[in-house]
């Protein structure tokens, strides 16, 4: 009688082939190897909650939190910044990103986040190109000029946070003629960081031009121990697949595109697993999603502030949808939940 057992080799070819493997940040398994990027003003608890509901992000991140501001609030018994909204109680894994240029201040805040808040990862921002952070506070991407200082900061924060892993997020350098990401990467690793994320632009580029993934990939052979996460311009599952196929990275991070499509992580995760890519939600489902997002923001900020805050999220959701211009024009002036619902009802396409 003929056997029905499928030979191992044939069975193997029928299984979806994952394109990228999960990886570790210290003790934390990042699975899938797709990360939600920190975005100031956007990646608060409400947004993270929505990303979690769709799934697909192996690690989520807060907005960047100023370490000096955190300490000041502590000393003055003030309420902690809105940027820590939800952090204490929400599901893990979660990275909190901090910024400053003082090793001691960063270490103090890192330790609090690790022990009291029990976050999964403490990430340090060395990539922010905004004037207020670079010129005024000599922090963010400003520090890329001073790798020794970066090393000192990371060493102190790693020591203060242990065993919670500490990671760094950088750009390629301060400007095109001062690209130093390989040197910086070696300093970051040498100082004890557990992963490095690289946005493939320089600080001077801000968001212009394209992220240079060849330069991100060129860092990998210089890292002995820690994973490399590439970031920049990934706005579809196909681009995430291409990034893993073409470039030498352990993980990828997605930022702006997820403001328009928070389900992109789930699509990208399916694509790298070799599984069918889930369809975009229908316009009616996107409308429900926006209302759900508003309700989350409203719980925290109350009617008026939530309505104003929601304008920017709603504009992101509408981008690229039919009638987006009209919707944006009307949503830009809302001041109350009633006005928000009316604009959604009348102008968001179905
Ligand atoms: C509105 C906005 C806010 C951002 N805030 C942060 C931040 O707080 N910390 C950080 O490391 N990067 C921040 N970034 C940079 C992103 O994390 C990411 O590196 C960059 O947008 C490139 O990725 P993308 O092409 O997928 O958007 C921000 C970007 C945007 C657009």
pLDDT for res 7: 42
Let me know if residue 147 belongs to a domain. yes
Q: 242, 273, 304: which is the final residue of a domain?
A: 273
Q: 187 and 102: one domain?
A: yes
Average of per-residue pLDDT across 237-263: 98
Let me know if residue 11 belongs to a domain. no
169 marked ligand binding residue: yes
Contact between residue 28 and residue 59 where contact means Cβ atoms under 8 Å apart: yes
pLDDT for res 79: 79
50: CB partners within 8 A, 6+ apart: 262, 289, 292, 293, 296
**Atom number in ligand 1 closest to CA 127:** 11
**Atom number in ligand 1 closest to CA 197:** 19
Task: Compute, in angstroms, the gap from residue 10 CA to the centroid of ligand 1.
Answer: 44
Residues belonging to the active site: 128
Q: Which of 125, 181, 211, 256 to mutate to test the pocket of ligand 1 (most atoms within 8 A of CB)?
A: 256
Average of per-residue pLDDT across 56-80: 92
97 marked ligand binding residue: yes
Q: 173 and 291: one domain?
A: no
Let me know if residue 86 belongs to a domain. yes
Mean pLDDT of the chain: 94
Please write the tens of the pLDDT for every residue from 266-298: 999 999 999 999 999 999 999 999 999 999 999
Let me know if residue 5 belongs to a domain. no
Q: Which domain holds residue 172?
A: 23-273
Task: Compute, in angstroms, the gap from residue 37 CA to the centroid of ligand 1.
Answer: 6
Q: Which of 35, 39, 81, 260 to mutate to test the pocket of ligand 1 (most atoms within 8 A of CB)?
A: 39
Q: Output the domain CATH number for residue 298.
A: 1.10.1200.80
Average of per-residue pLDDT across 60-73: 95
Host H or E run for residue 99: strand 94-99
Higher pLDDT, 212 or 349: 212
pLDDT for res 80: 79
**Atom number in ligand 1 closest to CA 64:** 8
Q: 273, 300, 326: which is the final residue of a domain?
A: 273
Q: 132 and 109: one domain?
A: yes
The pocket around ligand 1, CB under 6 angstroms, is made up of 37-42, 63-64, 97, 125, 127-128, 169, 199, 231-234, 254-257
Among 193, 170, 169, which Cα is nearest to 180's? 170
Host H or E run for residue 94: strand 94-99
Q: 84 and 207: one domain?
A: yes
Among 345, 229, 210, 211, which Cα is nearest to 287's? 345
Q: 245 and 306: one domain?
A: no
Please write the tens of the pLDDT for every residue from 109-124: 999 999 999 999 999 9
Task: Compute, in angstroms, the gap from residue 231 CA to the centroid of ligand 1.
Answer: 9
Average of per-residue pLDDT across 305-309: 97
* % of the chain beyond a pLDDT of 90: 91
Domain count, the chain: 2
């Amino acid at each position: 009688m003929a056997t029905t057992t499928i030979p191992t080799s044939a069975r193997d070819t029928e299984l979806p082939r994952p394109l990228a493997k999960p990886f570790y940040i210290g003790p934390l398994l990042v699975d899938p190897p797709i990360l939600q990027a920190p975005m100031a003003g956007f990646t608060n608890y409400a947004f993270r909650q929505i990303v979690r509901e769709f799934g697909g992000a192996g690690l989520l991140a807060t907005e960047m939190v100023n370490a000096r501001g955190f300490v000041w609030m502590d000393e003055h018994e003030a309420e902690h910044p809105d940027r820590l909204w939800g952090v204490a109680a929400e599901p893990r894994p979660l990275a909190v990103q901090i910024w400053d240029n003082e090793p001691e201040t960063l270490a103090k805040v890192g330790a609090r986040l690790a022990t009291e808040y029990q976050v999964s990862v403490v990430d340090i921002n060395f990539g922010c190109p905004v004037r207020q952070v670079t010129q005024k506070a000599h922090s963010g991407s400003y520090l890329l000029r001073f790798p020794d200082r970066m090393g000192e900061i990371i060493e102190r924060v790693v020591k203060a946070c242990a065993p919670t892993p500490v990671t760094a997020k950088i750009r390629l350098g301060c400007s095109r003629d001062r690209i130093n990401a390989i040197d910086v990467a070696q300093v970051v690793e040498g100082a004890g960081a557990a992963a490095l994320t690289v946005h493939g632009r320089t600080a001077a580029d801000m968001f212009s031009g394209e992220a240079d993934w060849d330069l991100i990939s060129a860092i990998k052979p210089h890292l002995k121990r820690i994973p490399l996460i590439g970031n920049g311009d990934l706005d579809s599952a196909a681009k995430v697949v291409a990034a893993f196929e073409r470039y030498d990275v352990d993980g990828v991070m997605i930022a702006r595109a997820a403001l328009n499509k928070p389900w992109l992580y789930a699509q990208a995760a399916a694509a790298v697993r070799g599984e069918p890519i889930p369809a975009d939600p229908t316009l009616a489902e996107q409308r429900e999603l926006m209302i759900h997002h508003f309700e989350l923001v409203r719980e925290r900020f109350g009617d008026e502030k939530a309505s104003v805050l929601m304008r920017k999220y709603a504009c992101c959701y509408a981008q690229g949808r039919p009638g987006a211009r009209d919707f944006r024009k009307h949503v830009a002036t809302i001041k109350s939940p009633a006005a928000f619902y009316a604009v959604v009802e009348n102008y968001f396409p179905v």
